[in-house]
Each structure stands twice: as C-alpha cells, then as structure tokens.
Amino acid sequence: MGPQGATRNLHAHAEALTDEAAATGDRPTLVAALTHLVHSYSFGGESTRTSVPFLRLLRMYDEDPADFGEDDVHRLHWMFKWVVADARQQPDVPLPEVEGWLARMRRGYRTAGYSQRAVYGAEFRLARHVGDAARAARAYAAWTAAARDAMADCLACEYATEGLRQLDLGDDRAALDGWEPVLSGTHGCHREPHETLARSLLPLVRTGRTDQARAHHLRGYRLVRSGEACGPAIGLHVEFCALTGNEPHGLRILAEQDRRWTETGDPLDHLEWLVGAALLMRRAVETGHGERPAPGPPGGTWTAAALLDHARESALDLAARFDRRNGTTAVSDRARARMAAAPLMAELPLGGTRPPSPTPHPHAPVPDSGLGLAPDSSSSPLDRARLCLALAQSLTPSDDGSGPRAERLLTDAAYFAGLPGGSPHVSALARLRLGGLHCEAGRHEEAAAVLESVLPDLKDGIHSADDRTRAHTWLARSYLHTRQPALAAAEFKRAAETARDSPDARHEEASLTQRAAQALSLAGQPAEAARTYERAEELWRALGEHGALVRALRARAWETLTAHGLAAADTVMTEALDTNRHHAEETEQDPERTELHVELGRTHVQLARLAMEHADGPPLVEWGTHEQYAANVRAFDTALGHTEQAIETLRACGGPALADLHPTELLAARLEFVLGRHERAASRARGLAAAVRERPDPDGTLAPLAAECDLLAGAGPTRPQPEAVPPRTASPATPGPHAR
C-alpha cells in the first residue's frame, strides 16, 4: 500500500473511532476521538476537513466545559493554531472566514487567560501570505513583545519564524543567524529542523557557505523524503538542485516523489511542490534537454518541456486562486519570481557524484585528477571509467591528500561510466567505493546520500555479495552516526542476509546480526533487539565462537529486562553464566581459554548489576518497610557475591584482565559501603588505591579511580553517599549493561 493509501486508512480509522465514541454517549470519550480526528486531518494532507470536527469540539466546550479535562482544554486552544493555518491553506475558504478564525482564536485566548503571542504569530504568517508587508511588520513586532506562555510555539518554531522575517527583509546572514539554534540541533520538534534545513539552502549558497548547503540538503532531504506533510520542504530541495547545477539529482527526487503530483489536500503546500518542479524543468529545457523523458504525474509519458508547461500552468492557476481569494497578486508574484530565478552557481557537487551529461561529446577531455595520469583522449568512456576506478583503488585514504585524490578519481569514474558507451556496472562500483570513502572519512551525510542512490543499482548476479554487503554496512554505519538507529538496524540486517550468500562470510553474518541488535536497542525496540541477539547467538554457536556467544547472551538479558521483566532477564543471564562456565572449563587452548575466563569475570559483574535491579534502592533502614529493607539487603548481598567471584576470576587471568579488575574491585568497595560495612569498604579502597598508583597512567584514566578510592577510605574531604553506587547503566567494569 502506498503512502496515500496508508494515510486514507488512518483518516478512515480516526473517523470510525469518532463514530464509535459518539455511539457510546460518553462525551469525554467523544472529545478524545474528535481531537484525534482533527490531528489526523491537519497533519495528514486533509486540512480542508479540519474545521468541521474542531467546530464540534468548540460547541461541546460551550455546552459543558466539564466534559473537558485540563489537558483537553489545553489541546482545544492549541488546535486554534492548526485551524487558522489550515484555513489559510485553502483558496476556497474566503478570506473573511480565515480572519474570522483568527479573531475567534484571539477571543478564546483572551478569555482563557493566555498570552496573545501565538495569535500574533498566526497573524504574521497570514499577512505574509497575502502580501501585506505593513501588517506583517506590526504583527511581528507584537509577537516579539508578547509574553511566552503555554500556548506559545516551541522555541524551534519561534526561531524559524525569526529567520523568516529576516529573509523577508532580504538579509540572508541575519536569517541564518536566527535559524542557528535550530540548524545546530539545540532546539527541534516534529517540524524542525526539517523545514528550516530546506529554507536555509539558498541563503547558504548566496552567502558562499556551499559546504554547509550541501550538508543541509543531504541531511534535510532524508528527513522529509517520506513525510506526508513535507511537500513544501521537498519543493525547496528541488529548487536548490535546479539553481546549483544539480538538475539530474533533482530529477531523481521528482521520480521518487511522484505521489506529490496528486497530493492536493493542502493546496498551498502543493503550490510549493509545483513551483520547484517547474523551475527544475525550466533549467532542463534551457540546457538543451527539453525532449528528454521526465518523471511527471503518474499515468502519462512526459518530456521535460511538456512537464514544464504542466507544472508552470498548474502553479500559476493555483496561485491565481489564492490571489482571487486574497484580493492581491502576492502569491502569483512570488511563484513567478521563483520559477524565473537564475542559477546561483554552475555546479555544486553533492556527495562527489557527478551525473552523466545527457549529450556528451564523444571525445570529452578527462577531468584533471591531480595525478597527471590521463588516458589518451581517443579512449572510450568505459576505458576512462575503468582507468579512473583502478587508479582510485590503488590509493589508500590518508592525510597526505590521497583521500581527496581518490574521491576525484571515483567521481570521474562514475561520470564516464554513466556516459553512452559506459557501464552501469562500473558506475555502481565507483559510486559504491565513493560512498565507502565518505563513510571511512566520517562524512556520513554525504556517504548516506551516495549509498542510498547506489544500492538499487547493485544487482544480484552482477555485483558480488561482498560489494552488496559493504554497501549495506557502510549505509548502516552512516545512519548510526546521523542518529537514525532504526534505519541502521534495517541496513545491518540486510547486510547480514547478503553476507549469507558469500561462502566465507559466516563470521561477518554473525557480527552484522549482532550490530543490528545493538542498533535496535538504540532505537528503543528491546523486544526486537532481544530476538535479533538470539539469532546472533545461533550464528556464534554454529561458528564455535564462544566468547562472542556469551557477549550476545548478556546483551539479550538486558533487552529482555526492558521488554519482558526481571524474571525473564534472570533466566537469560543465568544461561549466559552457565554457557560461559562450560566453555571456560572445556577450553584448554590459549588465548581462547583466557578470553573466556575474562568473559566469566564480566558475566559475574553483569549478574551483580542485574541483582541490584531486584532492589528499589540502596538498603537503608529509614527508607520503606522492614520487608523492603530486607529485600534490598539480599539484592545487594547477592550483587557483592557475584562481584567477589568476578574479582577472583579476573585476578587469575593476569594482565589481560587488568582493565576489568580494578573497576570491579571499586564496585565491591562501593557495595560494602552501601551495605553499611564501612571498615571493610575502606580497607578494600586503600588496597586498591595503592595498587592503582603503582601502575602507569599515560591516558589519565586511573587517577579518578584512585581519587574515589580515597573518598571511600575516608581520606577525602567528604564521605560518599549511599546513593553514589552507580546504576546498572554505568557499570565501572564495562561501559554498561549493553557492553558487547
């Protein structure tokens, strides 16, 4: 089912819930259902329908406010902002009716005791829309002067509004400064930074900050590409492509977003899409490609010239409807100006991938790679592509400049391989290597953009399983670094499935499966993470890699705790201990034997952490009931027992266990202190401090440990408090319960 079908189903579900709620006769339930329906329409591309359920809510509130809880009242007033905005979006809603909603919002806020700040913000946006510059200036001044309260937009949206005002005044730098808290990630919401990233693109190019513009495009488009209500932002990304020499990239966006042609439920948003598409097609026609196929509305065959006519006429017709409603020419003037905009630069490379020229000269010169190695000008595009690819693969990225040189060569290889007479196979390989180069260099936004584009071109039976595995793995790593763990998990899973096709990649399949589980944990999906760890365990067990098996079991225990509770987690962690002990005793060969005994020490530490989960806090007599105090003592005693077993096991391992031994000894001292055994805690701490200070500490990691020992031993200025025992998520022996 496509996105439109899914959205229609959501609307239908919300409508059915409303009917069911009305049939019950329970008015508070109906309030909740109508609120859900307003949200569904406003944020699901059906803003023309928002006002009907909202009016019903207002009537119910006037009839009996007691049907509305405190949160319901807050949401009712908050939704005024949606209804005013949605009315503005519809050219068939008369302007007096839009103004009427704004006036009703003003009265409602005043009656409820709210500030007029949100009202002035809505008035500012309406004035901008109709082209009333004087009213916009007055509303903006009143908005900034009014107090922030519970009805004010979030800070991210307010910063976005400030930047828009500066953009209206023609000051790109001030606009970018105003947007900085949103662009930097300091403030955000469900709409931001998505929209501001798109708005910032052209101001960044105009002010010469092209690297930042590229990064904002790559990051911003990924944020909005699947959003139902993101048509305007996507239109701005298309506009950016058209004005920076990236018309082929813009065409790929049009092809991917073909559903936008028929998503007309929010006409003002649809206008933004049409304007961006028309501008892109104008650039295609101006550069001599008017007869090339173009991705237009579904159901037809389009050339760039035909699509230009369709998009421009549709945009101007829609803009004229708004102008007739508004009594101005502002919407049409803005649309015409944007569709006629001149390019800002000849070419701004996006992620290093340069699209093939539609009409290349058969003997086009090889771009300068900086190596002084160019093939004969009579060589074919495929020969040139292969040579550039071979030269790039002979280089190793390093600080001596070979990384940038390899990037240039791979870009050229992709370029030539995409020309007539080239090879899609070689083009895909070059772009794959380029994506990997970006990933290894930490340029994860660019890496993701390149790898997303190349994955559909990597074909089973043509490209090796190893190459396809690398593509999914690099993309997963880039998603992790750009804080998209759910997407990373999906790519790690695909990488593992692909690795299964390679006869020598069984270890890689297991490792990638475990990384998928880690990403699922970061994405807040503990049940799915536990299932994926279980799959990793099967793979490690089949490989006979017992240390990795134990680590996967321990990790699954923590995910099981979150998903299924303490008893289930105890069962899995006990399985980890039994498995660890068995293989540690059975294995005779070093270094595996030592590895498994170090893991056994770590498993006992994890068991200690899990034992503390059975308590509701440190065992303090003055806290809670006597029964709870006794339960807390038992839990911490059990934890201390496992910690002592860990210390004994780690000491027997010698040097390989030192990194785990001293933090585990500190944990034992902390537990002794919390259990009220202060002298024993002090004795442990003094011995540990002496041992630590005898060791070299080149990176300064041991000094804080020794300082805490001094506190526990009573040598510091203050005694540690019982609650200083760290929670399980800050294990001193490992990075945390999820340590792998």
Q: What are 236-280's pLDDT values in tens digits?
A: 999 999 999 999 889 989 988 888 898 777 899 899 999 999 999
pTM, 2 dp:
0.61
For the cut 50, the answer to whether the pLDDT of residue 726 exceeds it is no
Tokens of 564: 């299924």
Tokens of 226: 């699947």
**Higher pLDDT pick, 656 / 697:** 656
- Other residues' Cβ atoms within 10 Å of the Cβ of residue 70: 7
Distance, in Å, from the CA atom of 345 to the CA atom of 612, rounded to the nearest integer, reads 62
Phi/psi of residue 309, nearest 5 degrees: -60, -45
Residue type, 528: E
Question: Packing angle between helix 247-256 and helix 231-243, nearest 10 degrees?
Answer: 160
* Burial tier of 714 (Cβ tally within 10 Å: 0-12, 13-18, 19+): middle
| Neighbouring residues of 302: CB distance < 8 A, sequence distance ≥ 6 | 293, 294, 295, 296, 310
For the cut 50, the answer to whether the pLDDT of residue 296 exceeds it is yes
The pLDDT value recorded for residue 172 is 95
- Other residues' Cβ atoms within 10 Å of the Cβ of residue 650: 27
* Cis peptide upstream of residue 591 (ω within 30 degrees of 0): yes
Confidence of residue 206 (pLDDT cuts 50, 70, 90): very high
The pLDDT value recorded for residue 494 is 95
The single-letter DSSP state of residue 153 is P
For the cut 60, the answer to whether the pLDDT of residue 75 exceeds it is yes
**Would you call 41 helix, strand, or coil by DSSP?**
helix
Distance, in Å, from the CA atom of 462 to the CA atom of 439, rounded to the nearest integer, reads 24
The pLDDT value recorded for residue 517 is 97
The pLDDT value recorded for residue 1 is 34
Average pLDDT, the chain: 85
Alpha carbon distances (Å) from 701 to 626, 653, 716? 40, 21, 19
Distance, in Å, from the CA atom of 586 to the CA atom of 590, rounded to the nearest integer, reads 12
For the cut 70, the answer to whether the pLDDT of residue 304 exceeds it is yes
Highest mean pLDDT among 11-20, 181-190, 534-543, 724-733: 534-543
- Other residues' Cβ atoms within 10 Å of the Cβ of residue 368: 10
Summarize the confidence of residues 128-143 as an average pLDDT: 95
The pLDDT value recorded for residue 727 is 41
The pLDDT value recorded for residue 468 is 93
Distance, in Å, from the CA atom of 681 to the CA atom of 442, rounded to the nearest integer, reads 45
Please tell me the total number of residues recorded for the chain in this structure. 740
Tally: H helices and E strands in the chain: 32, 2
Distance, in Å, from the CA atom of 369 to the CA atom of 410, rounded to the nearest integer, reads 10
- Other residues' Cβ atoms within 10 Å of the Cβ of residue 674: 27
pLDDT by residue (tens digit) across 473-485? Answer: 999 999 999 888 9
Residue corresponding to tokens 């509701």: 616
**Would you call 268 helix, strand, or coil by DSSP?**
helix
Rg of the chain in Å (alpha carbons)? 31
**Higher pLDDT pick, 28 / 681:** 681
Distance of CA 56 to the CA centre of its chain: 37
DSSP states of 272-341: HHHHHHHHHHHHHHHTT-TTSEE--STTS-EEHHHHHHHHHHHHHHHHHHHHHHHTSSHHHHHHHHHHTP
The single-letter DSSP state of residue 719 is P
The pLDDT value recorded for residue 277 is 96
Phi/psi of residue 113, nearest 5 degrees: 85, 15
Tokens of 598: 């170090």
The single-letter DSSP state of residue 346 is S
Distance, in Å, from the CA atom of 511 to the CA atom of 7, rounded to the nearest integer, reads 37
| Neighbouring residues of 137: CB distance < 8 A, sequence distance ≥ 6 | none
**Would you call 656 helix, strand, or coil by DSSP?**
helix
* Burial tier of 396 (Cβ tally within 10 Å: 0-12, 13-18, 19+): exposed
| Neighbouring residues of 447: CB distance < 8 A, sequence distance ≥ 6 | 351, 435, 436, 438, 439, 474, 475, 477, 478
The pLDDT value recorded for residue 2 is 38
Distance, in Å, from the CA atom of 184 to the CA atom of 267, rounded to the nearest integer, reads 31
Summarize the confidence of residues 396-423 as an average pLDDT: 74
Distance, in Å, from the CA atom of 266 to the CA atom of 229, rounded to the nearest integer, reads 8
For the cut 60, the answer to whether the pLDDT of residue 721 exceeds it is no
| Residue 463 β-bridge partners | 460
The pLDDT value recorded for residue 738 is 37
Summarize the confidence of residues 525-544 as an average pLDDT: 96
Distance, in Å, from the CA atom of 352 to the CA atom of 450, rounded to the nearest integer, reads 8
The pLDDT value recorded for residue 680 is 93
Phi/psi of residue 303, nearest 5 degrees: -100, 165
- Other residues' Cβ atoms within 10 Å of the Cβ of residue 631: 16
Distance, in Å, from the CA atom of 213 to the CA atom of 544, rounded to the nearest integer, reads 49
**Higher pLDDT pick, 375 / 241:** 241
**Higher pLDDT pick, 698 / 664:** 664
| Neighbouring residues of 392: CB distance < 8 A, sequence distance ≥ 6 | 405, 406, 409, 410, 413, 430, 433
For the cut 50, the answer to whether the pLDDT of residue 691 exceeds it is yes
| Residue 350 β-bridge partners | 353
Confidence of residue 405 (pLDDT cuts 50, 70, 90): confident
For the cut 60, the answer to whether the pLDDT of residue 353 exceeds it is no
Residue type, 476: A
- pLDDT above 70: percentage of residues in the chain: 88
The pLDDT value recorded for residue 667 is 94
Find, among 475, 420, 467, 415, the residue nearest to 444 by Cα. 475
The dihedral sign for the CA sequence 453, 456, 457, 460: positive
The single-letter DSSP state of residue 725 is S
